[in-house]
Amino acid sequence: MCRGPLPVPGRGRLAAVSEDLDRTLPSDDDPTSLDALDRQQVSGVGDMDPERFRAAAHATVDAMADYLAHVRSAPVFPAVEPGSLRALFPASAPEAPEPVGAMLADVAALVQPNTTHWQHPGFFAYFSTTASGPGILGEMFVAALGANAMLWRTSPVATELEVVVVDWLRQALGLPAAFGGLVTDTASTSSLIALGAAREAAGVDAAAAGIGGRPDVPRLRVYASAEAHSSIEKACMTLGLGRASLVPVGTDDSLAMDPGELAGAIDADIEAGLRPIAIVATIGTTSSTAIDPVATIAAIAEDRGLWLHVDAAYGGAAAVVPDRRAPFAGWERADSIVVNPHKWLFTPFDASLLLSRRMPVIRDAFSLVPEYLRTLDRATPVLDFNEYTPTLGRRFRALKLWFVLRYFGLEGIRRRIDAHCAWATWLAGQVQADPDFEILAPVPFSTVCLRYRPRSLADRADEPEARADLDDLNERLLHAVNATGEVFLSHTRLRGRFAIRVAIGSLHTEERDVRRAWELLRTEAARLEP
Ligand X SMILES: Cc1ncc(COP(=O)(O)O)c(C=O)c1O
Tell me how far apart the alpha carbons of residues 342 and 202 are, in angstroms, rounded to a whole number.
31
Q: Of the two residues 229 and 497, which places its CB atom closer to ligand X in the complex?
A: 229
Strand order in the sheet with 220-225: 180-184, 352-356, 336-339, 307-311, 275-282, 220-225, 246-249
**Binding flag, residue 124, ligand X (CB under 6 A):** no
- Is the Cβ–Cβ distance between 505 and 301 less than 8 Å? no
Q: Of the two residues 311 and 486, which places its CB atom closer to ligand X in the complex?
A: 311
Tell me, letter by letter, the H, E, C secondary structure of 107-173.
HHHHHHHHCCCCCCCCECCCCCCCCCHHHHHHHHHHHHHCCCCCCCCCCHHHHHHHHHHHHHHHHHC
Among 18, 33, 112, 186, binds ligand X (CB under 6 A): 186
Q: Which range, of 81-89, 185-193, 252-260, 456-464, touches ligand X by CB under 6 A?
A: 185-193
**Binding flag, residue 187, ligand X (CB under 6 A):** yes
The distance of closest approach from Cβ of residue 343 to ligand X in the complex, given in angstroms and rounded to an integer, is: 7
Tell me how far apart the alpha carbons of residues 103 and 183 are, in angstroms, rounded to a whole number.
32
Tell me how far apart the alpha carbons of residues 485 and 500 are, in angstroms, rounded to a whole number.
16
**Binding flag, residue 474, ligand X (CB under 6 A):** no
Q: Which range, of 102-110, 194-202, 238-246, 283-291, touches ligand X by CB under 6 A?
A: 283-291
The distance of closest approach from Cβ of residue 169 to ligand X in the complex, given in angstroms and rounded to an integer, is: 16
The distance of closest approach from Cβ of residue 226 to ligand X in the complex, given in angstroms and rounded to an integer, is: 13
Q: Which range, of 266-274, 284-292, 451-459, 516-524, touches ligand X by CB under 6 A?
A: 284-292
**Binding flag, residue 286, ligand X (CB under 6 A):** yes
Tell me how far apart the alpha carbons of residues 198 and 330 are, in angstroms, rounded to a whole number.
19
Among 269, 292, 311, 524, binds ligand X (CB under 6 A): 311
Task: State the amino acid at position 249 in one-letter form.
Answer: V
**Binding flag, residue 389, ligand X (CB under 6 A):** no
**Binding flag, residue 292, ligand X (CB under 6 A):** no
**Binding flag, residue 195, ligand X (CB under 6 A):** no
Helix boundaries (H) for 345-397: 359-366
The distance of closest approach from Cβ of residue 284 to ligand X in the complex, given in angstroms and rounded to an integer, is: 6
Q: Of the two residues 344 and 498, which places its CB atom closer to ligand X in the complex?
A: 344
**Binding flag, residue 128, ligand X (CB under 6 A):** no
Phi, psi of 280 (to 5 degrees): -110, 120
Tell me, letter by letter, the H, E, C secondary structure of 34-93.
CCCCCHHHHHCCCCCCHHHHHHHHHHHHHHHHHHHHHHHHCCCCCCCCCCCCHHHCCCCC
**Binding flag, residue 229, ligand X (CB under 6 A):** yes
**Binding flag, residue 446, ligand X (CB under 6 A):** no
| Closest of 474, 476, 488 to residue 78, by C-alpha | 488
**Binding flag, residue 314, ligand X (CB under 6 A):** yes
The distance of closest approach from Cβ of residue 345 to ligand X in the complex, given in angstroms and rounded to an integer, is: 12
The distance of closest approach from Cβ of residue 289 to ligand X in the complex, given in angstroms and rounded to an integer, is: 9
**Binding flag, residue 127, ligand X (CB under 6 A):** yes
The distance of closest approach from Cβ of residue 229 to ligand X in the complex, given in angstroms and rounded to an integer, is: 4
Q: Of the two residues 291 and 525, which places its CB atom closer to ligand X in the complex?
A: 291
The distance of closest approach from Cβ of residue 301 to ligand X in the complex, given in angstroms and rounded to an integer, is: 19
| Closest of 164, 273, 296 to residue 225, by C-alpha | 296
- Compute the radius of gyration of the chain from its Cα atoms: 27
The distance of closest approach from Cβ of residue 241 to ligand X in the complex, given in angstroms and rounded to an integer, is: 18
Residue 82 CB contacts under 8 Å (≥ 6 apart), including other chains:
none
Q: Which range, of 66-74, 216-224, 277-285, 512-520, touches ligand X by CB under 6 A?
A: 277-285
**Binding flag, residue 40, ligand X (CB under 6 A):** no
Burial of 168 (0-12, 13-18, 19+ CB in 10 A): middle
Helical packing angle, 464-483 and 511-527, nearest 10°: 130
**Binding flag, residue 340, ligand X (CB under 6 A):** yes
Task: State the amino acid at position 93 in one-letter form.
Answer: A
Task: State the amino acid at position 490 in one-letter form.
Answer: S
Task: Tally Cβ neighbours within 10 Å of residue 307.
Answer: 25
**Binding flag, residue 313, ligand X (CB under 6 A):** yes
Tell me how far apart the alpha carbons of residues 290 and 281 are, in angstroms, rounded to a whole number.
10
**Binding flag, residue 491, ligand X (CB under 6 A):** no
Q: Which range, of 64-72, 91-99, 311-319, 520-528, touches ligand X by CB under 6 A?
A: 311-319
The distance of closest approach from Cβ of residue 82 to ligand X in the complex, given in angstroms and rounded to an integer, is: 22
Q: Of the two residues 311 and 438, which places its CB atom closer to ligand X in the complex?
A: 311
**Binding flag, residue 231, ligand X (CB under 6 A):** yes
**Binding flag, residue 289, ligand X (CB under 6 A):** no
Secondary structure class of 324 (helix, strand, coil): helix
Q: Which range, of 3-11, 219-227, 307-315, 396-404, touches ligand X by CB under 6 A?
A: 307-315
- Give, for 369, the enclosing helix (H) or strand (E): none
Q: Which residues bind ligand X (CB under 6 A)?
A: 127, 186-188, 229, 231, 282, 284-286, 311, 313-314, 340, 352
